[in-house]
Amino acid sequence: MPRSFLVKKYFSNKKPNYSELESQTDQRYAVVPLHDSVVPMLVWGSSALPLAFTPAPPSPPSPPGPLDLSSPSSSSSSSSGEEDDCRTSDPPSPDPDSDRSQCSQCGKPCGSPAGLSRHQLTHCTPGPQTTGAASTAARAAFHCKHCPKEYTSLGALKMHIRSHTLPCVCGTCGKAFSRPWLLRGHIRTHTGERPFSCPHCNRAFADRSNLRAHLQTHSEVKKYQCGTCSRTFSRMSLLHKHTLSGCCPSA
DNA sequence: CTGGGGAAGGGGCCC
DNA sequence: GGGGCCCCTTCCCCA
């Protein structure tokens, strides 16, 4: 599932204020779809943000086989790209003071060497463009044995593999999930628990993201705007549907 | 057809 | 390094 059209911009590094979602005055996000025919703009507050997106060129395929986590000696090699890889949610940083702990792959300032080290675990492997022992070690790839994905760290790979092994099983219906919190969210569908309430109406939701989407329905200016007719939508999927329905045949 | 709700997936970051 | 929570998205279904 491609997520590379999302480019997150960090203007603050913590805790969202959900009341902001109704009266957006900051522009924290940029939405950049890959769909050729769609050039949506994010309307986050008063102005729209038309954005360009340049997909990274595909990396050459790599020959090494998948990593079998059941084998303790697995540690891997090589590298390659994959359609969803090598992206980052963070824009390059303009902060010169963060050079010492700035990610060499995405430019993100990480605050400290430790932060940089941790951040780098999140990068999937780029192409085989580097040489030298240090670079080779830094870009070692860990391949998923279940799919073509590969990661630069065992930790990242393990996290990914959970999406294949689905270790969290619902005791009520037996449905399995990759993460404990996904299971908890699912369990709410059995219990009916809805801890996220809308401040504007009596609705409550089991999922915070669904509340967030709901809050858009209370907003006059929706988050996603059609680049051609300027109509706004509460969800990207609605904008996409709108575009596919023929509003913007050439856009 | 459109808009909204429900459910779920998955990467990133913090503790 | 792992757990928990963040964020975002998509898909499906229904009014």
Beta-strand pair A48-50/A150-151: unpaired
C-beta separation of A156 from A139 below 8 A: no
Indicate the burial class of A170 (C-beta count within 10 angstroms; 0-12, 13-18, 19 or more). middle
A5 CB below 7 A from strand C atoms = yes
How many CB atoms within 10 Å of residue A233? 20
Length of chain A equals 251
A162 CB below 7 A from strand C atoms = no
More confident call, A237 vs A50 = A237
A196 CB below 7 A from strand C atoms = no
- Closest CA to the C1' of C6: that residue is A15
A97/A75 Cα distance (integer angstroms): 35
Which tens digits make up the pLDDT trace of A54-93?
333 333 333 333 444 333 333 333 333 333 333 333 333 3
For tokens 């409550």, name the residue: A204
Reported as a pLDDT band with limits 50, 70 and 90, residue A215 is confident
pLDDT > 90: what percent of chain A?
A: 0
Closest Cα to residue A222, out of A7, A23, A17?
Answer: A23
Which tens digits make up the pLDDT trace of A3-52?
223 333 333 333 444 444 444 333 333 333 333 333 334 333 333 333 33
A39/A131 Cα distance (integer angstroms): 38
